[in-house]
Structure 1
Amino acid sequence: MNEELFRLRAQHVEITKRFINNGWIEVYRSGNDSEIEAGIYCCLVSPDNLNKYLEDRDWGIHWGSEGHPSVITHFRDGGKVTEYFRFAEEGLEPFIYPKWFTHVKERYVDVSQEFVNYFKLYEQASSKQKRSYYFIDDSGDTEEVIHVTERQVRIKLKFLNEYLAVRKMHLSLCFDFMIVTDEAGAGSAFIPKDEDFISNSFHYNHLIRVVPGIGDKPLQSWIIGKTMLKFDAAKSGKFWFDLDEDAHESFIIGYDDDGTEKLVRCDSEDYKFFTPVYFKKEVLNKYYDNPQKYEVDGFHIKSSFISLKMDNNNTDYVMVFLNDLTMLPQKEQLHWKHHNIAPQTGMGMSGAYYDTMVLGNWARDSDSVDVRFKAKYHRFNKKWFGKFGWHFYKELTGSDPQHFSALHLPSENNVRAFCEQILILVKATVDSLNEEMLVKGLSKIENEKGIAKLERFLDIRSIQIPDMITFLRNLQDLRSGMMAHRFSKSNKNCQKALTYFGLTEHNYRQVAQDIFIKSLFTLNTFSKLFLDETEEFEG
């Protein structure tokens, strides 16, 4: 055996650190740790009881009997009085509840429900033995706070510190570590000792001794006692749910006379009426990338937690009125602040946003091609079904509606963003053509693909649109060559598509915009030919 193991060196270090590691604190452990029999338990201690509690190394309460409520009868004023007590031990309160049910031989651990309720923690569990609890902030982001297994409980320290401060209670971390071995195992580490470690924050003992009559391993090294995690009185008046009225960020609204950028807080009373603030398009990536949580359109970002009015109808930037940014939690304001840009010549509010959000005219479509395409796509498919009884594009299923909702003109000029968005667009259009209905009643052609079926659907009605068919074929080849399969320079169809679109490593965003415009033109053309609608978009 390692002599350091017998000396319980690692356990001394753990006690010194109060079982804190990487922002987490271990408040419960039960069972063997390699060759060491290990136990960690905890309870809350009132400040009035702290000095008395630290007079010895006794835990005060123990798992299996952790402060069960008690009904006690005693004599008062010459008669019997029966009283109910929440906890059996005065000045101590259980925080961890290990449970063992012999009739089903099941073991699990609960954490104080008061702690869970204080932070409104959300529980996710695969079983009673494996559970996690999450804090959900004002933006809807989650953070794990409690991690529970059958024989261990860890808690995020910053949450526990706040709870202790608000409750004005200390946490006692109780521990019991023991190892037994023989002379060969202990080696030179066997030096009998009975040493107490005492301060105003801990009280424990390390005992090394011979214990006769326990078989062939009579040498024992044993640490038992407790150490305190004390509450911070300076934080006792601060609560996680308190609204900080000063938690508003400043944003660039223009320039001062000397040419420096002018920063104004978003809750400013002097600039509360229609003061525009501009942001890079990249500010929306966070929300587009999480479509199951956020809905993004030309005029809003919405979720169960936030709602922000914005002008997302320009190709290169997003505009928000300064005071509207106060609707965001401070963490979200910091995200937007990171993408804030100073206004430049030519920037301004889009006509769509002005008509819709300022004048209240809801009839106008977005000026942004991606937003306009998505609105047109849904409107076209609905009207087609209303007229013909079947959908021109098969309805999106599974997670596809969320991906389509997040479809947008790439905000960055790189191949990854380009491929992600074009893949979604092609899947919703070319791949979703209702092939069965397009050729219903027509002769069958072996191995005929979707675009060929569309071409026959048009031919039978004496409609010739060769440029559109060429666009769709090249779009399909681009998707197949760059995104659906491993890219190869020998893929002639893909190479031809790259030439058709003029795609280089320097113009991904511009080509994506061109594809969106042509896709919208396709919808407008079908609307004009089959639905008697006329709509123009110049891009």
Structure 2
Amino acid sequence: MQDAEAYYKQEQNIKYVSDSYGKESWVRVSGKDILNRAEAHFWCALIKKTKVKSVFRDFSWDTDGMSDGPGFEGGGSTYTYKRNLVTGGIEPLLYYRNFYGVIPDCVELAQEFILLNNLYYDSIKHSYFELCMDGETEEAVRYQKDNCTVSVKLKYLQKYAAAKQMAILLFFDIRAEIEGSLEENGLDKFFDTFKDKDLYYSIWGDQMDFGNKHVYSVLMGKKILYPNAVDQCGYWPYEKKEKYETFIIGTDEFGNTKEYTCNPSKLANNFGTNADAPYYFTPVFFKKEVLQKYILKPELYTITDGSLQCQVLWQLQIDNHHKDCVIAYLGDLGKNLPESERLYWKSYNIDSDEKLSRVTFERDFMCLPSESNMIDHKFQRDYAKVIDYWNKKYGWSIFLPLTEQDEYNLSQIRIPLTNSQPEFDMLVLSLVKVLIDSLNEAKLKETLTRECKNGSINELQGWLEEHNCQDYEIHIKFLREVQELRSTGTGHRKGTNYNKTARKFDVGIKTLKDVFENILEKADEFLLYLMKI
């Protein structure tokens, strides 16, 4: 009976709206939910700070979004068009779209909120996301599948309110039901009201005598969330002050690492600024694994010879012409990397006795068009050259174009960052896709005058033989061995066949890094051969 009375008087729900609602990381702003076994309905709007007292004259909702849209108001012969018809200093955050059962109703966010936060809608996740400067996304608004139940991350709600210098008005209507009469449940009819500076609600309970007799209670009211100062909204020109990390730039006479800020305004340059500070172009060293994060998201990041780019958001010039480290300039880390990325790079920062590569030095300080000395860069460069060469000489490409879903297999071919088996297997798989699976079998078959076994390597061999090409055997042998390495390694469970094939490439004798580097060298020799025939 005590539990029934607590439920009837909605003690838990009162505690929720008093202590938690509007303070959680996600705020329910529309739709319904089950809250402590009661059916809860929510809505949200903004209100001018000067009008808060006027809406706290009673506990009822001041708007429910049903008639807040644009239209005309007036009477007689005078009508005035308004961008929204809500009154009393209230501004909609949401609009309830009623389609009268023809198509499902929905709730729409105010376009101003979407545009100010530069949000985009993901139709699969039913959420709005902000695109952050580091290229990552942050969920800002969640829709349930009914398209009427909406939650907004508190951070975005408060930023918006601060920018507009308006208070957030949260409405709630929570209803509990118990079967039977008041007398049967040992309960009494009641009515209570609570009001303070930011919460106003009433709760009442009675019984319903028609239909299925039951006891009910209604907790209805509103809550005010006051905005922060406008300079705390986080939008330009009130963005948070940027933080700059320090990075290792060398060691002192005792062998201790020395660090310095990457803030470009604190560094020396060619014009005499900050003469006692490290030079803007001081090289900073990182473990090669720093690139792993970007390799795993080829749809977002592009790593090329000397560059790391996040679409058109940011680009960092890097010296990626070493097998075991990556180098970036101290000033570039502060100027070209977003704040969150600098913290990530710092975790891979190392002290090193390496120097800038010859390629980077010639490009950056001697203005020479120096080609990369790294075999992975050379392979990708020569792959494109082969396609162009065959198109010009034979009128068709020896390699079929990669589909959008497969393009990463070419762009990610590299000397491995680590000696891990999974990375090695993945790179072998990608190499086979671009070098063997992409061979243009249809065109190779077209020019053959005799039958040969099916398979792209067999057809390439037949084409080379019919065209009297010399010294092709070593390349055909290489292609077959690489294909066998893929088939016995990533295509099936590894066993004795894989071990036998792997030994041909010195797996177990050399590191997997060195093994794949040698494979790439042979693959590039094959590409160079294709440009000689």
Superposition TM-score, scaled by structure 1 size: 0.86
Residue 318 (structure 2) aligns with: 310
Q: In 1, are the aligned partners of 2:306 and 2:317 still within 8 Å (CA)?
A: yes
**Separation in 1, partners of 2:240, 2:157:** 21
1:212-251 equivalences in 2 (<5 Å): 212=209, 214-233=210-229, 236=232, 238-239=234-235, 242=238, 246-251=242-247
Structure 1 position 184, deviation (Å): 7.4
Cα distance change of structure 1 residues 186 and 40 upon mapping to structure 2, 3 Å threshold:
farther
Residue 133 (structure 1) aligns with: 128
Per mean C-alpha deviation after superposition, the further-off stretch among 349-358 and 5-14 is: 5-14
Per mean C-alpha deviation after superposition, the further-off stretch among 464-473 and 145-154 is: 464-473
Cα distance change of structure 1 residues 444 and 241 upon mapping to structure 2, 3 Å threshold:
farther
Cα distance change of structure 1 residues 197 and 475 upon mapping to structure 2, 3 Å threshold:
same
Per mean C-alpha deviation after superposition, the further-off stretch among 290-299 and 504-513 is: 504-513
The answer for unaligned runs of 5 or more in structure 1 is 75-79, 531-539
Instruction: Read off the aligned partner of 1:417 and give its amino acid letter.
Output: E
Structure 1 position 343, deviation (Å): 2.4
Per mean C-alpha deviation after superposition, the further-off stretch among 180-189 and 399-408 is: 180-189
**Number of residue pairs aligned between Structure 1 and Structure 2:** 513
Cα distance change of structure 1 residues 13 and 34 upon mapping to structure 2, 3 Å threshold:
closer
**Separation in 1, partners of 2:24, 2:433:** 44
- 1:190-243 CA-to-partner distances (Å, cap 9, x unmatched) read 34332222222211122122344x223242111111122222338646436645
Residue 256 (structure 1) aligns with: 252
Residue 283 (structure 2) aligns with: 276
Residue 58 (structure 1) aligns with: 60
The answer for unaligned runs of 5 or more in structure 2 is 269-277
Structure 1 position 185, deviation (Å): 10
Residue 202 (structure 1) aligns with: 199
Structure 1 position 371, deviation (Å): 1.2
SS in 2 for 1:429: helix
**Separation in 2, partners of 1:247, 1:273:** 17
1:473-492 equivalences in 2 (<5 Å): 473-484=480-491, 486-490=492-496, 492=497
Residue 347 (structure 2) aligns with: 338
**Separation in 1, partners of 2:18, 2:477:** 73
Per mean C-alpha deviation after superposition, the further-off stretch among 304-313 and 61-70 is: 61-70
Cα distance change of structure 1 residues 389 and 63 upon mapping to structure 2, 3 Å threshold:
closer
Instruction: Read off the aligned partner of 1:313 and give its amino acid letter.
Output: H
**Separation in 1, partners of 2:231, 2:79:** 38
Structure 1 position 475, deviation (Å): 0.9
Structure 1 position 272, deviation (Å): 3.8
Residue 98 (structure 1) aligns with: 96
SS in 1 for 2:105: strand
**Separation in 1, partners of 2:408, 2:89:** 53
**Separation in 2, partners of 1:244, 1:173:** 27
1:270-419 equivalences in 2 (<5 Å): 270=268, 271-302=278-309, 303-325=311-333, 326-344=335-353, 347-362=354-369, 364-419=370-425
1:165 aligns with 2:162: yes
| 1:146 counterpart (141, 146, 149) | 141
1:28 aligns with 2:34: no
Cα distance change of structure 1 residues 46 and 243 upon mapping to structure 2, 3 Å threshold:
closer
Residue 509 (structure 1) aligns with: 513
Superposition TM-score, scaled by structure 2 size: 0.87
**Separation in 2, partners of 1:251, 1:185:** 71
Cα distance change of structure 1 residues 185 and 368 upon mapping to structure 2, 3 Å threshold:
farther
Quote the RMSD (CA, aligned, Å).
Answer: 3.1
Q: In 1, are the aligned partners of 2:172 and 2:220 still within 8 Å (CA)?
A: yes
Structure 1 position 396, deviation (Å): 1.9
Identity rate, percent = 26
**Separation in 2, partners of 1:35, 1:251:** 54
Residue 77 (structure 1) aligns with: none
Cα distance change of structure 1 residues 517 and 462 upon mapping to structure 2, 3 Å threshold:
closer
